Structure 1
Amino acid sequence: MKRLLEAAIENNREWTKKGNVATYIPELSKANKEHLGVAVYTIDNEEYYAGDCDVKFTMQSVSKVVALMLALLDNGKEYVFSKVDMEPTADTFNSISSLEKRNPNKPLNPMINSGAIVTSSMISGKDGSEAIERILKFTRKITNNPTIDINYDVYKSEKETGDRNRALAYFMKSTGIIEGSVEDALDVYFKQCSIEVTCKDIARIGAMLANDGVMPWSGERIIPRQIARIVKTIMVTCGMYDASGEFAVRIGIPGKSGVGGGILASVPGRMGIGVYGPSLDAKGNSIGGLKVLEELSRELDLSIF
């Protein structure tokens, strides 16, 4: 496995030159576009990694998986999906127009920005500070890494440039989809996106999901099997934005990307995979990371289809 991962990195590193780092959040533009790393964590508690696997990056939209798990734990699926739909989108991840196309103005799914802001608003806590502490504590637990924290430089950058997310949130407040404080929900969302991890961390999240909610390193069940299955299904249909269909055909496993360059993938009953490559394609997905996953899927016969 180690040799396979090293080969996948070397075979696909050239792709990093064909994309671009995210610049609409200024702090993300500082990333090295040639970085490329991968980590695998199996449900048998084995770990393998290669490339730039210890480089830290912010979760960005990968955090939407964590927020959805917590929202489902706190509220149950009936309430969560009364506020956010579970359908794929052909629009961009920060689309405003998609909110008005659907009745009753629900976001299409929890993996786009509007849907994720809603799920963040559902996480229990007396205020936004308590909610983000619960997200941090949960993230540390499911990565087996107690040192994980927020990158406050990225958080500040996100907050200062987050006007489109504010527009989405206030629109949803006007239609009753967001019930509490809009500013609290936004602050939680900006902070959860700014949680800093490595490939190894998100591979462990993928392994827990692959193991139907049981953490392989401890044997502890952290989420019910049903929630793990809901999350993996939505990752398949919606996790790669408007490239989710192509990802399902080419790679064929549950995955969730983020504009920080991370992709969290989960192979049911087998392993979690974390990749990092901040050079993005036109749809906001790691261009090198996708190629690494495609090679691993082909070599290890990972597709669930």
Structure 2
Amino acid sequence: MTDDISPDLLRELLDEVRDDSSGDLVPHLGDYEHPNPDALALAVCDLGGRVVSAGDDDIRFDLQSASKPFVYALALDQKGVDEVAKRIGVEPSGDPFNEISLEAGTGRAPNALVNAGALAAHALIGRGDDDEDSRFEQIRALFSRIVGREVEVDEEIADIEARSAHRNQALAHLLAEEGNLADDPHEVVAGYGRQCAVRVDVRELAHMAAMFANGGLRPGGDEQILGRRAVRYANSVMFTCGMYDAAGDWVYQVGLPAKSGVSGCVFAVVPGRFGVAAYSPRLDEHGNSVRAAAAIEALSDRLDLHVLDRADGHGFGPAG
């Protein structure tokens, strides 16, 4: 771990953002009573697998959209760039993440980090004869390999998501109508809901981010979990599209590939150095955690992490 990062530093950064009580809990879960609405945590994992954390670092939360880049990279590994590109583009949409809209002229999802693209990526996992259970288990196995334990699904959240998945159903049917969904829309939406309900804590999410910072290698090991080229593409799309329709502001201010989830988590990748993750449940108008995003921005400012701010080897490396 870099000498600049310590639990004391992370606690200091959390204290800087702690008093911000703005934002709302995720709206689409209806009457769901959030167990930890005031939680706040920050963690950093280096390429050697060493983790430093502060705050409520033992609370598990649903990955939600933070799952999208990993499944996209898995689809790229399994199907190849050309096959994935037939169904999923790489351009920022500028629209909300659940906008019912596809790319003009192609019927593709604009990118893998809006819901249309995430559904298309989910449907690409596995072989043609795999059913939805097999597809989801491959995705769950990927997360389990990265964090080093058998991850679980938040069944309560998955059930709520299944009852309120009307927009995702509409997107899946629209993709299918355009020939850009590789399986049955209803099965894909059900599996995607379970993908989003996989639970980790902030230390584990930082470890997942560090795998992206390490070119797909397990931090602290020599296992190539995801291909280096697939990880480069996933990092690239996160850089331009990862923070919903606030992605431009994020790149401008923070300058790191990142992805958020409406559970309140955010992770960011410092290529060649480490991964960072934060958690705080209240969201801004874009669906990004107010305090988690602010904590990572504070870390980037403190350590000069913006990848366009310096030329000493900390930017994007070549694909292997």
Scaled by the length of structure 1, what TM-score is found? Answer: 0.96
User: Which shifted more, 175-184 or 58-67?
Assistant: 175-184
SS at match of 1:158: helix
Counterpart AA for 1:10: D
> Does the 8 Å CA contact 2:120/2:182 hold for their aligned counterparts?
no
The residue number in structure 2 matching 1:129 is 133
Deviation above 4 Å: which 4+ runs of structure 1?
none
State whether residues 60 and 259 of structure 1, in contact with CA within 8 Å, keep that contact through their aligned partners in structure 2. Answer: yes
Matched, 1:285 2:288: yes
* Alignment map for 1:106-255 (pairs within 5 Å): 106-125=108-127, 126-144=130-148, 146-255=149-258
Partner deviation per Cα, 1:115-136 (whole Å, 9 max, x = no partner): 1000000001510000111111
SS in 2 for 1:18: coil
Inter-CA distance 12–230: structure 2 relative to 1 (3 Å threshold): same
Contact 1:57 1:197 in 2 (8 A): yes
Residues 1:3 and 2:8 aligned together: yes
Structure 1 267/29 Cα, relative in aligned 2: closer, same or farther at 3 Å? Answer: farther
Question: What is the match of residue 60 of structure 2?
Answer: 56
Q: How much does 1:65 deviate?
A: 1.3
**What is the CA RMSD across the aligned residues, in angstroms?**
1.2
1:44: Cα distance to partner? 2.8
Provide the C-alpha distance between the structure 2 equivalents of 1:254 and 1:159, rounded to a whole number of angstroms.
Answer: 30
The CA distance in 2 between the partners of 1:10 and 1:147, in whole Å, is: 33
Structure 1 unaligned residues grouped into runs of 5+: none
Cross-structure match for 2:80: 76
Partner of 1:40: 44
CA distance in 2, matches of 1:27, 1:88: 32
Look up the equivalent residue of 2:179 and give its one-letter code: G
Distance 1:182 1:27 in 2: 27
The residue number in structure 2 matching 1:257 is 260
Q: Which string of whole-angstrom CA distances, capped at 9 and with x for unpartnered residues, describes residues 185-204 of structure 1?
A: 11110000000111111111
For the structure 1 residues 255 and 242, does the alpha-carbon distance in structure 2 shift closer, same or farther, using more than 3 Å as the test? same
Report Cα offsets for 1:2-52 as digits up to 9, x if no partner.
11100011110112x111110212376524332110110001332100011
In structure 2, how many angstroms separate the alpha carbons of the residues matched to 1:27 and 1:86? 36
Q: Following the alignment from structure 1 to structure 2, what is the Cα–Cα distance between the partners of residues 152 and 301? A: 40
Q: What is the distance in 1 between the residues matched to 2:33 and 2:96?
A: 20
Structure 1 position 269, deviation (Å): 0.7
Deviation at 1:147, TM superposition (A): 3.3
What TM-score do you get using the length of structure 2 for normalisation? Answer: 0.91
Q: Which digits, 9 at most, give the CA deviation of each residue in 1:222-249, with x for residues without a partner? A: 1221111111011100110111111111
Q: Looking at secondary structure, tell me which structure has more helix per residue.
A: 1
- Match of 1:202, SS state, is helix
Cα drift, residue 104 of structure 1: 1.3
Q: Which residue of 1 aligns with 2:317?
A: none
Q: How far, CA to CA, are the matches of 1:103 and 1:195 in structure 2?
A: 35
* Equivalent of residue 19 in structure 2, options 14, 39, 48: 14
Determine if contact 2:72/2:121 at 8 Å carries over to the other structure: yes
- Summarize the Cα distance change of 1:200–1:222 in structure 2 as closer, same or farther, 3 Å threshold: same
Q: What is the aligned-residue identity percentage?
A: 32
Whichever residue aligns with residue 120 of structure 1, its letter is: H
Residue 291 of structure 1 and its aligned partner are, at CA, apart by: 0.8
